[in-house]
Structure 1
Amino acid sequence: MEQLIQHLKSYYPLSDEASKALSNCLEKKCFAKNDYLIKAGRICRYFYFMERGALRGFYNLNGKEITHWFGFENTFITSFHSYITEQPSVENIQFMEGSIMWAISKKDLTGLFDRYHELERLVRIIYENYYIRLEERYVNAQFKTAAELYSDLMEKSPHILERVPLGYVSSYLGMTQETLSRIRKLH
């Protein structure tokens, strides 16, 4: 839990009182490879921090899995649309490795916001960072070639290529495995 609190303080300073109150609401959860954090059709009621592990978010479209994001250590995880709207998730979140997560319910987190405005600011900053990454991914998908997307991935997130099966990587990049193989041979 100390790793989480220190990571949070890198976003925004937290008082000892707020840190303690947050710690009291966190629950440690362990997951095995291939477990699901959330399945499509279920409501996501928790906000998570990944201490260790790897997972992916994906949609099912006409019987095909479309991977749209990955999560690794020191990452905040939730099915954002479901968590915020309290509507059923349209995505699945599945572990690719055994993982350790810290969970806080939406109810508990909202209660902390009312008592500790610094926590509300902190989570706003986390949401802003998420939005920026989402917009960058959207823009890149619209304007970059497959080769450029792969080059960007190698430059900015080489750990993905080391830890994620290539089928998931090709789906994430929006290309077939054959196209990804051809591009990799050129690099």
Structure 2
Amino acid sequence: MTLPSTPQEETGGIAVLQRTADLLSVTGGWAAAGCILGLTGLVLAEIIVAFLARFIPAMPSGIGIGWEYSAYLMGSSFLLGAGMTLRAGLQLRVEILLRAGRGRFAAALELFSALLGTALCGFLAVTLVRLALRTYGYGEVSQDSFTPLWIPQSVLALGATILALQMAVRLIAALTGRPLDRPDLGAATAIE
């Protein structure tokens, strides 16, 4: 998988770090899209089974693991796509603060938000990795489908780790005056 090239490819350690984080974020974005497709297929299958159950008495009225796997897929899509959303500049923001004083405080607010975001996302990633490892160690499974819980938890931990890396790279970019957003990575446009 290759990323769209920027108008001027930068060199140096920070540029390599940004490109690596971007590649991981785009890969996570594609995985998130796969989760959304899987979720859509699961919901459609649930609807079809419920419809057919009205006419076929022996058919169950739903898919037993539908709700459980829907939750796994929704959480996974959210966290796997969050890094790409952040880098593309499509995350929800309070723009009124950035525009206050005609942008005089924008750099300081970006730096503060990147610092806070790095700390919070790093904590989330470490916590989810520890949870997945603990669950794997204990061999815990879900009650409905007997799915080993470390599997969906690992996907969540991966998404949180990608987001934390992208947030840390954003902090470095804010500290060094590099561009923070890369709109060409977005799958949509920002709604103003």
Higher relative contact order (CA 8 A, sep 6+): 2
Higher helix share: 2
Q: Same fold (TM over 0.5)?
A: no
Whichever of the two has the greater Rg, that structure is 2
Higher strand share: 1
TM-score, length-scaled by structure 2: 0.29
